[in-house]
């Protein structure tokens, strides 16, 4: 297969290019090159997709398939215009943020979407979902029903995750000592390994698997995710997935704190500075971590065990340097301070409460 990856230098695009090369394909990455280099063995086209003729060099070639990771509607509209005449199969990496509601659990691909962004450029992350809807619509309008796939990815983790969301918990357990966690045992989490997603994107392109797909991992309660992270770090063994235990307890090294107390201490949810990753309190967002992946699984998506993803992410985190700044989590000083505050607060509670 002669494959064009629009991107291929940053995390997911780079992994996808590497997976395609490993499968024996002829891979060309078209990008600015500002996010890094494509993997060894891939050809590189330096392009500016914001320019109207930015893909002129690629448009003059024949491609069996195109994989596009852009979030900018104008870029996708121009690439569809310039590449659709060659009979290629177009794979757009979209997102679950396109759905109008993030509350429902088990949501499938036919759920209502947000209104599309009219502009060519999204100017903030608040427009991310509408921008991806516009990208999807451009691809669907430009390619026939059997000539494209819309792949709505969920939270991506694994080696190379600079956001810290998939690396914080296994790294924290590996460091030892009491681990501060939000007391939300049943809140859903859902993580797909970047390598599993990349390999499946290549298979979708190879097999011209048309359709719309939720490319997401298996849903696990928050406490199970913690237990898997601890096991990945060698700090405990998680319960068997089919053990019929309704609420598997996290390892005893965790120190649960009430969500309200954490918020009062200025601890943020999900990601960012002074945060506890993957914690989402608002039930209107719980469906984001509990979407159905049945259609993608039926189309060949294969997922490695969560513990393996977390173990490999831990190894990458340690190799990258445990003391470096991260995009999510607490610093050691912040966690020590919070644990001391929590101990003082608990000491003031009436006995037996």
Distance separating alpha carbons of residues 94 and 129, to the nearest angstrom: 9
Q: Rounded to whole angstroms, what are the CA distances from 349 to 182, 267, 338, 342, 353? A: 19, 21, 17, 11, 7
Does residue 242 surpass a pLDDT of 60? no
The candidate with the shortest Cα–Cα distance to 63, out of 106, 28, 96, is 28
Judging by beta carbons within 10 Å of its beta carbon (0-12, 13-18, 19+), is residue 125 exposed, middle or buried?
Answer: exposed
Q: How confident is the model at residue 250 (pLDDT cuts 50, 70, 90)?
A: low
Distance separating alpha carbons of residues 73 and 154, to the nearest angstrom: 20
Distance separating alpha carbons of residues 31 and 143, to the nearest angstrom: 22
Q: Which helix (H) or strand (E) holds 78?
A: helix 73-83
Phi and psi at residue 308, to the nearest 5°: -65, -40
Residue 99: per-residue pLDDT:
98
Q: How confident is the model at residue 313 (pLDDT cuts 50, 70, 90)?
A: very high
228, 264 Cβ separation under 8 angstroms: no
Does residue 246 surpass a pLDDT of 50? no
Does residue 341 surpass a pLDDT of 60? yes
Task: Tell me what the pLDDT averaged over the chain comes to.
Answer: 93
Distance separating alpha carbons of residues 82 and 70, to the nearest angstrom: 15
The candidate with the shortest Cα–Cα distance to 153, out of 171, 136, 134, 170, is 136
Q: How confident is the model at residue 323 (pLDDT cuts 50, 70, 90)?
A: confident
Angle subtended at Cα 291 by Cα 160 and Cα 260, rounded to the nearest 5 degrees? 80
Angle subtended at Cα 273 by Cα 156 and Cα 345, rounded to the nearest 5 degrees? 115
Judging by beta carbons within 10 Å of its beta carbon (0-12, 13-18, 19+), is residue 348 exposed, middle or buried?
Answer: exposed
Phi and psi at residue 211, to the nearest 5°: 140, -170
Q: Rounded to whole angstroms, what are the CA distances from 163 to 68, 279, 342? A: 21, 14, 27
Which residues on neighbouring strands pair with residue 212, listed in sequence order? 150
Distance separating alpha carbons of residues 281 and 49, to the nearest angstrom: 38
The pairing of strands 211-215 and 148-153 is parallel
CB proximity list for 80: less than 8 A, separation 6 or greater: 90, 138, 139, 141, 142, 143
Question: Which structure tokens are listed for 313?
Answer: 């992410």
Distance separating alpha carbons of residues 80 and 91, to the nearest angstrom: 11
Residue 244: per-residue pLDDT:
43
CB proximity list for 252: less than 8 A, separation 6 or greater: none
Q: How confident is the model at residue 78 (pLDDT cuts 50, 70, 90)?
A: very high
Q: What is the mean pLDDT of residues 202-225?
A: 98
Question: Which structure tokens are listed for 235?
Answer: 């700090």
Residue 144: per-residue pLDDT:
87
Residue 33: per-residue pLDDT:
85
Rg (CA), the chain: 21
CA 106 from chain center: how many Å?
17
Residue 350: per-residue pLDDT:
62
Which residues on neighbouring strands pair with residue 92, listed in sequence order? 68, 150
The candidate with the shortest Cα–Cα distance to 122, out of 154, 95, 157, is 95
Q: For the segment 261-298, what is each residue's pLDDT rounded down to a tens digit?
A: 999 999 999 999 999 999 999 999 999 999 999 999 99
Which residues on neighbouring strands pair with residue 172, listed in sequence order? none
Return the DSSP state at 185: T
Does residue 248 surpass a pLDDT of 80? no
Residue 289: per-residue pLDDT:
98
Q: For the segment 7-41, what is each residue's pLDDT rounded down to a tens digit?
A: 999 999 999 999 999 999 999 999 998 888 999 99
Residue 352: per-residue pLDDT:
53
Question: Which structure tokens are listed for 227?
Answer: 């237990």
């Amino acid at each position: 297969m002669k494959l064009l990856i629009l991107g291929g230098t940053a995390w997911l695009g780079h992994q996808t290019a590497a997976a395609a090369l490993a499968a024996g394909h002829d891979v060309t990455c078209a990008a600015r090159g500002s996010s890094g280099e494509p993997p060894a063995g891939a050809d590189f086209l330096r392009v500016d997709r914001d320019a109207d003729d930015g893909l002129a060099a690629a448009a003059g070639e024949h491609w069996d398939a195109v994989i596009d990771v852009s979030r900018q509607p104008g870029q996708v509209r121009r690439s569809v215009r310039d590449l659709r005449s060659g009979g290629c199969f177009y794979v757009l990496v979209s997102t679950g943020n396109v759905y109008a509601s993030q509350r429902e659990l088990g949501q499938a691909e036919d759920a209502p979407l947000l209104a599309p962004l009219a502009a060519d450029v999204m100017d903030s992350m608040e427009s991310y979902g509408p921008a991806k809807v516009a990208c999807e619509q451009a691809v669907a309008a430009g390619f026939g029903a059997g000539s494209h796939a819309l792949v709505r990815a969920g939270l991506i983790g694994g080696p190379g995750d600079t956001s810290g969301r998939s690396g914080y918990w296994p790294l924290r357990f590996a460091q030892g000592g009491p681990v501060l966690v939000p007391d939300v045992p049943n809140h859903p989490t859902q993580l797909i390994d970047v390598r599993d997603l990349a390999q499946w994107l290549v298979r979708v392109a190879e097999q011209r698997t048309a359709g719309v797909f939720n490319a997401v991992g298996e849903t696990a309660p928050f406490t199970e995710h913690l237990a898997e992270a601890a096991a990945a770090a060698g700090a405990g063994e998680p319960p068997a997935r089919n053990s019929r235990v309704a609420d598997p307890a996290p390892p005893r090294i965790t120190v649960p704190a009430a969500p309200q107390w954490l918020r009062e201490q200025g601890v943020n949810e999900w990601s960012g500075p002074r945060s506890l990753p993957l914690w989402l309190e608002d039930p209107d967002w719980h469906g984001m971590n509990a979407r159905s992946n049945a259609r993608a699984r039926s189309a060949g998506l294969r997922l490695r065990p969560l513990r393996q993803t977390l173990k490999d992410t831990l190894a990458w985190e340690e190799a990258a340097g445990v003391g470096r700044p991260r995009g999510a989590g607490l610093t050691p000083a912040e966690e020590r301070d919070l644990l001391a505050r929590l101990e003082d607060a608990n000491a003031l509670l009436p006995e037996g409460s």
